[in-house]
Amino acid sequence: MATREASCSCGRLRLTAEGEPVRISICHCYACQQRTGSAFGMQARFPADRVRIEGRGTVYERVSDDGEGRTFHFCPECGGTVYYTTADRPGLIAVAIGAFADRDFPRPTVSVWEERMHPWVGLPVDMEHRD
């Protein structure tokens, strides 16, 4: 079983995820763009019972573009978002793919909120695409 380590920039907020993610996705919504400072957010979701969290995080709660509650956990020292949870999927923890710092991490298979995708972003045609 695969074990993956993720952390914020300074390493004070860390997590370990066991096994393969149940979903790896890209989100182009404006809230993810603002949160990441990038053109999109990327996350891998794991069952909560396969994730161990270490360190102190600060919480930011917001409502998604779909109207769902989201609770983001970020490092109070460096500000890096490491993971978040959603009200509609309480048994899963979504981890920012960049927090793994692993160039061999599996690629996303789902792309959502594509109507807000920057026109210059190119994605594989064989992934699931949603507006």
Domain boundaries, the chain: 3-118
* pLDDT for 85 beyond 90: yes
> Which of 4, 51, 42, 6 is closest to 23 using CA atoms?
42
* pLDDT for 126 beyond 90: yes
CA atoms of 125 and 95, how far apart (whole Å): 24
Category of 11 on φ-ψ map: left (φ > 0), alpha (ψ -120 to 50) or beta: left
Length of the chain: 131
CA atoms of 115 and 45, how far apart (whole Å): 23
| pLDDT, tens digit (0-9, with 9 covering 90-100), for 20-74 | 999 999 999 998 999 899 999 999 999 999 999 999 999 999 888 788 889 999 9
CA atoms of 104 and 24, how far apart (whole Å): 13
CATH number of 3-118: 2.170.150.70
> Which of 87, 90, 89, 96 is closest to 37 using CA atoms?
96
Name the residue with tokens 């298979």.
109
> Which element (helix H / strand E) includes 23?
strand 23-27
Torsion over CA: 7, 96, 87, 73 (sign): positive
* pLDDT for 5 beyond 90: yes
By the 8 A CB rule, do 56 and 12 touch?
yes
Q: Which residues pair with 14 in a beta bridge?
A: 7, 54
